[in-house]
Amino acid sequence: MTTAALSAALPMLALVTLTVLTVAALVAQPWWSEHRRARLWAQPFPAPWRRILRRRVPIVARLPLELQLRLKRLVQVFIAEKPFIGCQGQKITDDIRVTIAAQACLLLLGQARADCYPGLRQILVYPGSFVADRERPLGAGVMQAQRQTMSGESWTSGQVVLSWQDVVAGAADPDDGRNVTLHEFAHQIDQDSGVADGRPWRAGRATRRRWAIVMGQALERLRSEPSALIDAYGASDPAEFFAVVTEVFFERPAELAAEAPAVYDELVALYRVNPMRW
């Protein structure tokens, strides 16, 4: 090959090499993730993490043993894969990682997959409640800037933002039906299908239709008659309704089943667990 022919062929060669490497990386990545998860699952759950679970997340001790084991495995994957970022000087410790991961993974106990929140990129942790600037629609396309104090937020770009003080308080009482971590991670499950619209992805058109009817009717009922069980904040919109009933489903299951049996059944089918049996 002449020098001129070689220099003409080089960019093509580089392009082919790059394409081959990209395809190889795409093919290898799921395999590598699976391999890493299998290795993590084989590792024993660290004793200090077990003590954090016992102290901070009392709901875990109620789970049947096989679900406790599954939860611990999911926590190991979650902590290995998801970066935690401290905000306003908050230091990130195992106490924070394990307490948040355990509650987040409670929502994944029934899923067949070994991964955790594929769309979630980071967990941002503030020491206490934080202030966020929001825009509120005033009508006729006019928006008003507003400052709000928040205990948690979930963004469609793959971030969950939490106040550590509120995370601890939410986990400490597993029977009050109030839990900011469950709430924000329910939004992440909802956002898995794109926007947060109170319709987490379900297979089957009939299943999706039934979900929409049951949840829509329950939301309308909450709007017309306040409930002592389901927080009025759930009446804001379908996304908040789903996040609020998720908190109640895990923390006051028997009461939810009595007050709104159809909603309870839909949540059993979605999360594939039945907290009333714990």
- Residue 16: both structure tokens together: 């082919």
Residue among 49 and 126 whose Cβ is closer to Zn ion: 126
Element (H, E) at 154: strand 152-155
Task: Pick between residue 96 and residue 243 the one whose CB is nearest to Zn ion.
Answer: 243
268: buried, middle or exposed (CB in 10 Å: 19+, 13-18, 0-12)?
A: middle
Task: Write down how long the chain is.
Answer: 278
| Angle (nearest 5°) at CA 264 between 256 and 231 | 45
Dihedral class, residue 91 (left if φ above 0, else alpha if ψ from -120 to 50, else beta): beta
Choose between 174 and 234: whose C-beta lies nearer to Zn ion. Answer: 234
Residues lying near Zn ion in the complex (CB under 5 A) are found at 240, 243
Nearer to Zn ion (CB atom), residue 240 or residue 266: 240
Minimum distance of Zn ion from residue 46's CB (angstroms): 32
| Token code pair at residue 82 | 């998801």
Minimum distance, C-beta of residue 183 to Zn ion, in the bound complex (Å)? 6
Of 214 and 243, nearer to Zn ion (C-beta) is: 243
Shortest Cβ 171–Zn ion spacing (Å): 17
Least distance in angstroms from the C-beta of 184 to Zn ion: 7
Long-range contacts of range 102-105, CB-CB < 8 Å, 24 or more positions apart? 102/53, 102/56, 102/57, 102/60, 102/71, 102/75, 103/57, 103/167, 103/170, 103/171, 103/179, 103/181, 103/182, 103/185, 104/78, 104/160, 104/181, 104/185, 105/71, 105/74, 105/75, 105/78
In the bound complex, what is the minimum distance in angstroms from residue 134's beta carbon to Zn ion? 12
Taking a C-beta distance cutoff of 8 angstroms, is the pair 76, 108 a contact? no
Q: Tokens standing for 181?
A: 């971590």
Distance separating alpha carbons of residues 87 and 91, to the nearest angstrom: 8
Residue with smaller CB distance to Zn ion, 76 or 181: 181
Q: Which residue is nearest to Zn ion (CB)?
A: 243
Rounded to a whole number of angstroms, the minimum distance from the CB of residue 107 to Zn ion is 14
User: CB 256 → Zn ion: shortest distance, Å?
Assistant: 18
In the bound state with Zn ion, the residue whose beta carbon lies nearer, of 32 and 233, is 233
